[in-house]
Chain A
Amino acid sequence: MEPAAIHEELKSRFGDAVMEFREGNGDPFIVVNGSHLLEIAAYLKEAQGLHFDSLMCLSSVDYGENYAVVYHLYSMQHKRRVVLKVYVEKADPRITSVQSVWKAANWHEREAYDLMGIRFEGHPDLSRILLPEDWPGHPLRKDYVFPEEYDGIPCHRE
């Protein structure tokens, strides 16, 4: 089943929660409403003929006006891949955790929280994974302001 066909199937099942299907230079992707993400994720994993049992990558993007969380899924059984994208508003970036569907999401979501500041609701331990616990801000955001000093160490050299 091609990504376009998967989009059709999701659309018929979840209606408006599944938004447009886009093909560009990279992988074609399906835009999904964040409020129904967990049901769609569970369906993609369990449904007959889909079996997307592997979350290859979970990443976050800063588009300026909003953020996006991107899910690269792979089906070991059918040797197929599909990409889901969820847009998150910039003022309060919150999204449901898919940790209960794919265990692999646990550390990926912590990384996205650490570097982009997206809060994954329902995550068992949403703490920083790479940076120190007391690091100010989320450095991969486009509007990130570098601190003047950290822990008494100047961050700029004269």
Chain B
Amino acid sequence: MRKMINEMPGNVLFTTVDQFLNWGRFSSLWYLLFALACCGIELMQAGGPRTDLDRFGAMFRATPRQSDLMIVAGTLTYKMASRLKLLYHQMPEPKYVISMGSCANCGGLFQLGYSVVEGVDLIIPVDVYVPGCPPRPEALAEGIIKLQELIKKEKYLVKDN
């Protein structure tokens, strides 16, 4: 073993498999564009040069098949709910959801309306809630960092009791 390591030309780092997998996952959180309302504009800002989500390895995808993360940004209506569910089920595992803004969290300003779902967590499981109406791009970046911390603690190969 020592002989083998000494013969290797480059650097060798030791880690656990779980940590290695999680490193790959939290460093490449590709998010599905799901801009439903004004929060979508802040979501675009967060992807722009000032907040620059790219530095967390997060970049937008226009298809659920290539996405790891769904950022639900805006007011979800009952008419849109079936599409949200469909797109969520089209994403490959492991998948995460950030609920962005008051409307996605609980229906927000429109929760007494007849057409607005009172929170996307009634339909799909949500990992991180970002409050605000709409949240600033910094708040969304914080939400992504919080999600990365959750991913770092995940155990794939060991049963977590």
Interface residues of A (CB under 8 A from B): 131-132, 135, 139, 144, 146, 150-151, 153-157
Sample of 17 more A-B contacts, CB < 8 Å, known A151-B82, A156-B118, A157-B107: A132-B79, A135-B78, A139-B114, A139-B115, A144-B114, A146-B114, A150-B78, A151-B78, A151-B81, A153-B78, A153-B117, A153-B123, A155-B118, A157-B106, A157-B118, A157-B119, A157-B122
CA distance A131 to B122 in the complex (A): 20
Interface footprint category on B: 10 to 19
In the complex, what residues of A have CB within 8 A of residue B123's CB? 153
Interface residues of B (CB under 8 A from A): 78-79, 81-82, 106-107, 114-115, 117-119, 122-123
Interface of A is mostly: loop
Q: In the assembled complex, how far is the CB of residue A84 from the closest CB belonging to chain B, in whole angstroms?
A: 29
CA distance A157 to B116 in the complex (A): 12
CA distance A111 to B40 in the complex (A): 27
A154/B78 in contact, CB under 8 A: no
In the complex, what residues of B have CB within 8 A of residue A139's CB? 114-115
Question: Given A139-B114, A139-B115, A146-B114, is A153 in contact with B122 using a C-beta cutoff of 8 Å?
Answer: yes
In the complex, what residues of A have CB within 8 A of residue B79's CB? 131-132
In the complex, what residues of A have CB within 8 A of residue B81's CB? 151, 153
